[in-house]
Chain A
Amino acid sequence: MTAAATELRAQQDQGRKTAQNREKLAQGRTYISALVVLIWCLAPAYWMVVTAFREVGFTYDTSILPTHVTLDNFQTAFDTSFGNHFGQALLNSVFIGGVVTVVSLLIGVFAAYALARLNFRFKYLVLGFILGASMFPGVALITPLFQLFTNIGWMGTYQALIIPNISFVLPLTVYTMTSFFREMPWELEESARVDGCTQGQAFRKVIMPLAAPAIFTTAILAFISSWNEFLIASQLSSDRTQPVTVAIASFAGAQPNQIPYTAIMAAGTIVTIPLVILVLVFQRKIVAGLTAGAVK
């Protein structure tokens, strides 16, 4: 082996080493950044859970680790003797969210199909209308709805919460579903029609099964959006119909004026956990659904 060759190898090794080092450094930086992101996203949620498990007498304890651990708060959260209806509110939220999701999907899927697949006059008018609808601020609706529902005796009914919610969720479902529909392999529909299916049959038998995952994702998004709604519900619901968001915001304690933070955090934890599980399980699909409108 010549000296020159040895030197060359040494240089190559050196080069590889610095490249490796640089790689390692970059990896290290990535991990540190990822850790920062993790802490930023999870720390407040962690504090909610820790407080939820803390004895009410030690609400303002600031030790980072769980102290005075108890399950009482979860019981308190469901306790109705202070005028809270958390259990009822949970059912209300599920019911309202369910109806809103089903109805807006039913309506939305048809509309999205038409927008994605059909050609007709006034298409832009319709799109513009739906786009416009999603811009309306909730407060612009609330005054007249308050007045209207008062006049027709709908205050404190489920429909008073469901119907406005549909209007908020519908544009979302239409847009997400339209984006999904544009991505579908429509050649299949064509071939089905060549095989003698009508457009309706082709839609039902070929497209719907293919679209099921997309519909499911949209359903989750619609449900979460309705589950989180506060403005309309805070003004138009009664204790019988109020959803969890309102129930938690107005949680009352054993004494007048008392704000039972620990029970509120317990309730918050209960409300959040199903969503977090849902979100974690369907993470990829949700990300796809959220981004569908934006990137295409």
Chain B
Amino acid sequence: MADTFDVVIIGGGPAGQAAALALALAGHGLAIAVIDEPPRPGGQILRQPPAPFAVSNWLPGRSYDGLKAQLARFEALEGISWLGGHSAIGLVREADGLVVQASGQDGLRRLVARRVLVAAGCQDLAVPLPGWTLPGVYAAGGIQAFIKSQQIVPGERVLLAGTHPLMLLIGAQIVAAGGTLAGVLFAQPRQTMIANALRHATAAAAHAGNLAAAASAMKVLAGAGVAVRFDTALTAAIGNSQVEGARTAAGDIACNAIGLCYGFVPQSTLPRMAGARVQTAGPAGGWATVADGWGQSSVPGLFVAGETTGVAGAPAAMAAGEMAGIGIAHSLGLIDASEAQHRAGPARRRHARLLGFARMLDAVADPTGYLPAPTPDTLACRCEDVDFATIDQAIATGGSANAVKLATRCGMGACQGRNCEPTLLRRMATAGRTDDTGFTQRFPARPVAIGDLAD
């Protein structure tokens, strides 16, 4: 089944929504499809409760207001083909245009588009440490998504550990949900965080609102009697068949869920699969797709926006999505160059300002030097059960990331290396190999039933 669109947008988060809104404004009757894995739009930042749920006072807090307002505008937009519950598993250029293969419960759809925007967001940096494969160890963003969407706290006693200040917000959300926190542990000293923030003092001043949100989250945690510790590294998750506690620099802490929060990496599979040029992303690692000021990547017709171009937060993604939408409209001949410049002006200025804040957050949250130390038998690749001793041995022979993959199976599993690639590249960099371009990105970007792909 082939569907033809003017524009296919991959990702229903802030960037994808903003692009759709800008496109709708620029051209009536454009055929636009927006595809995402959850059933409802919002992205991870606004992962919505299921349709049968009613949640009053959902995601309170000023930082969500602008995002929620845009989501409402997007959901009210007519003429958009919303393909929730679909995974974009392939992206290729074919004779009739760019082709996105979308896999859903109803099988596979082939979406042909004149332009494709990848606004696929980011994922938590996967952080190997002893015991991290025990049930109950989560990416912190996964815990937050449970609270936002499914209205569940996945554990009676949750510990958050890492380097990223987002932990404060997630912690406050757990408390507000009636959950119990075993603590919030920052691996880095408080002074280091402050010093790194002060190096970006202008950005800090310009985004006092975000800092106030952090301060009010701190207050919520203090009110609930939750210990927020600095300079306190998580060294292992402990337990037999599930998490029973956390080993930390300050002793063992009883808990039955741990959220790891050391930063975020762009979802880069699709642009890389399509051959787009990428560069190393922020301090957490990963690959940022290179784009011009309109989001146009090195592949003709393929645009990127939001965290795909480097993790900078939802408001920045919103601004970038709007610029990409305008850029796509211009590339389709719907508006001329000066009109595009004019329309993009406010978003461009907002984006520049927000990038300043993002760089500050990068500096404050930088996990470099604070990642837990794996032991030789700690698994680097969760899918294929490949431990650090094995990858270290393969790295020592001097091969590329692809060669290590071939030799060890690290990255050959169901996640296709999305979890272990940053780990492996960091490990190779420690061994002096900083020039590797990572795993060749293979089809499909997500697992898909053989029967859906067959003739």
Q: Do A and B bind each other?
A: no
By a beta-carbon cutoff of 8 Å, the part of chain B in contact with chain A is none
By a beta-carbon cutoff of 8 Å, the part of chain A in contact with chain B is none
